[in-house]
Structure 1
Amino acid sequence: MTVLHFADGQVITIEESTTTLAFSAVLPPGHVGPPAHRHRFETETFTVEDGRLQMRIGRRRYELAPGQSLVVPPGTTHCFANPFDEPARIRTVESPVGPLQPLLRAQAGAVGRPSLLQLAEINAAHHWSFTLSGCPTLPSGSSGGYSPRSRGRDDEPSATPSFRSRTPEWVPVACPAVGRPFASAPPALGTGAGRDER
């Protein structure tokens, strides 16, 4: 097991495995979580062990209580936060193993934020699996360059350019979970029910 301590008070305990990445995280009160993002190849399962967690999966928002889980399929935009007054302990399982563990290690080891170059090198080593919401995804089989794409529904890139938005598509979008209404419980726990309906 590896324990990572973050400057914002978050503590993550990683269980060693070669096929899946499993870790427990203690999120301090008021933790804003990661920006909205998606994984091209990996499925993530979030389970609340203690406290509460707010999540956004696609367009849906949820408030999870202890014992509740949500599954995020590959390619689905998601984020989470703990805007509550008590810590939250969550367990996350990523399958198959992607760039999440080296990304977490880089963030925990950095003074401030890790360099964009370091994060890009980690992502490149994992076939560009991790994408922030609003950033273009690489076309299948691409080895590098981004193609010009713009935002579509839910900040997902669309295949046709649109010039309606003045916000550049590369701007990371923070998780809009805090302060927004959430469902009291997911409609179907652990089934991936929060995926975008297209």
Structure 2
Amino acid sequence: MNAETMEALREHRKDREELVIQGRLKYFSHVKPEDQPLIGVLDDRWIWAKDKRLKKERDEKALASQVKALPTIEIEGISVAGQLKYTVNENGALSAHMLYQILKGFFAMCSATAGEKPGEGKGPFMRASTHWLRHTYAHKALKSSEGDLSVVQGLLGHKNINTTAIYVKADMSERIRVAEKLKSSV
């Protein structure tokens, strides 16, 4: 990550620490400052709103035992394969699934603002996803590194450089620029 992104994440972490002090993240008040997630939930109410299935199960257990329900946190390690693993972990970090859902919601708002028609699925915002963002990052990294696949391979975490090579797709202007530089062999 670049320094600007890291600074934004540090500011987010400071916001979370302040929310713990204010009592708005009481379920995560036990988390040491150094264990606070870089990207995490900012309000205890979010947990209840975003995982209704688990909330319902917890409420039923609480009703049966006459004990206040626990927050709806399901830890990845106890999840069943193929099911939603968790919304947040024990430190309040958002799961990959929840980050995906948040971004899809954001893209849906962008789609509506851009006037894309619901149900068509052809507009750029309707097609947007976390994988789309990863592709954009990969292409920008390739351009910034002047095509250094090994650097981009490390940034993307690919084990095989052939996976990284999939992102090497020169645009038409780049092809024309290179073709113009070539000397004719005739």
Structures share a fold, TM > 0.5?
Answer: no
TM-score by length of 1: 0.25
TM-score calculated relative to the size of structure 2: 0.26
Structure with greater strand share of residues: 1
Higher relative contact order (CA 8 A, sep 6+): 1
Higher helix share: 2
